[in-house]
Amino acid sequence: MARHDQSIHPYRIQATKAFWKSSVAMRESFEMRDIWSPKWSITTKTPIATVGSCFAQHISKALQMHGCNWINGEQGPPGMTNESLRTYNYGVFSFRTGNIYTIALLKQWLHWALDKEQPPDEYWSQNNRFYDPFRPEIEPYGFISTDELLQSRQQTLYAIRSVVNDHPPIAHFR
């Protein structure tokens, strides 16, 4: 049986910052430094689009509050009050996609927006109102017709496509 030298293993040659205990757990929050090396820098001028769950709503608010360049890719119609904009889910995320909980769902929206796949013409109906199954909470009272629903979905896809084309992800530049 082969014998291995127990005194040498990959963890022994790692810097202190590589370990949770020494770089984070045993330090005060303002003492933490040089824990990671970013691949690119993000400044307040860097355009940032948000999608996601309810957590992402807080990120978009915080970005705006701190003067960052948050992208509102799908703004509401002119003349809507702030309350109406919120009710109809404008300005919650960068697009009116509603909650996106998985990478697969984000990929689906991107594929639809970039014409890699065609979105289905599916809809739900209840009490003569129509709901988009891919973003059921976007219109809280439903759409008045399937045409209005599909037109709204196309508007969201156009917004996504415009933002992606106008602001390619930083990672693609590396």
Residue 170 pLDDT more than 60? no
Residues 106-141: tens digit of each pLDDT: 999 999 999 999 999 999 999 999 999 999 999 999
pTM: 0.77
* 54 neighbors 99 (Cβ within 8 angstroms): yes
How does residue 10 score in pLDDT terms, banded at 50, 70 and 90? confident
Residue 108's pLDDT is what?
Answer: 96
Residue 131's pLDDT is what?
Answer: 97
Kindly list the domain boundaries of the chain, sorted by start residue. Answer: 54-167
User: Mean pLDDT across the chain, nearest whole number?
Assistant: 89
